[in-house]
Amino acid sequence: MNLLFMSGVDNADSWRDALCNELPEVDFRIWPDDAEPREEIDYVLAWRPQPGELRKFPNLKAILSLGAGIDGIFCDPDLPEDVPVVRLVDRCLTEGMSEYVIYWTLHYHRHFGAYTAMVADGEWDNLPQHDTNLRRVGILGLGELGGDAARKLATLGFDVAGWSRSEKDIPWIIGFSGAEGLTPFLNRSEILVNLLPLTPETEGIINKDTLAALPEGAVVINPARGGHVVDEDLLAALESGHVAAATLDVFHEEPLPKDHPYWKHPNVAVTPHIASLTVPHSAAEFIAENIRLIEAGKPPLNVVDREKGY
């Protein structure tokens, strides 16, 4: 079988080693040099392929995403409709995202940003410590990533709620769902974490109305997609003080332009889309499992529902 790797060539060797270890029979090819003849390609492993390229492979059995998000694939207007697109669900990817969310939740919960500034000024003082059981954290999105982060925060003692499109029942997590559940969910979220997939329905969901529904002094953590945030609205909420701070890992334009106000805003922490990075040796296990299923005539796991967009 022939698999075409359509991503940066800088890490192609790591992916080749990982996948060939799982599937010794695979012919690992690298875009664009090894893409011909295109009718021989069975699988494409991609993150943000060039629009129009995927439809040029007539015998594709599946398009396998290199990440948890699939918006970089579905932005292609010529994406072949009869080829399944498979999300990456991977232990390391999930654990990495939960680590990021836990780190920044603790950062705000324990005032570590304020302490860092105090120490830099040679100031020795302490700030009131909040009861973890009374700290209300809200997770937007209770899928693979959001559900794991919510459960782990709850085991640390936080009062965790989650909001999802449809109702979900997760032990220790207060559930909200649907349009009618969004505002009451936001009303209680002192620390708001966005882990939604980016779809037409969720684009711009962090806006002036949803930010206004948060408690005074809330903080926002967004490691999902830049398209979820209306930048002007978040900046306005930060300037007014209604939102105390924000940590942003993803942006409308990446890399974030040097002149963007987020860089120098005193209450914004910027990270360069590193909340959770794909680890080839771990992801290869899931990818290989799906290829084996397809080769055996069975449906792969975690196929994207094109109507829902995730």
Q: Which residues are catalytic?
A: 225, 273
Burial code (b: 16+ CB inside 10 Å, e: under 16) for 88-124 equals: bbbebbbbbbbebbbebbebbbebebeeeeeeeeeee
DSSP state letters, 20-78? HHH-TT-EEEETTTT--SGGG--EEEESSPPTTSGGG-TT--EEEESSS--HHHHT-TT
CB 156 within 8 A of CB 102: yes
Instruction: Yes or no: say if 238 and 265 are a contact pair by the CB < 8 Å rule.
Output: yes
CB of 69 closer than 8 Å to CB of 197: yes
Long-range contacts of 298-307 (CB under 8 A, 24+ apart): 299/84, 300/62, 300/84, 300/86, 301/86, 301/89, 302/86, 302/87, 302/88, 302/89, 303/84, 303/85, 303/86, 303/87, 304/70, 304/74, 304/84, 304/85, 304/86, 304/87, 306/74, 306/81, 306/85
Q: What is the DSSP letter of 136?
A: E
Q: Are 84 and 302 spatial neighbours (Cβ–Cβ below 8 Å)?
A: no
175 Rama class: left (phi>0) / alpha (psi -120 to 50) / beta: beta
| Bridge partners (DSSP) listed for residue 177 | 164
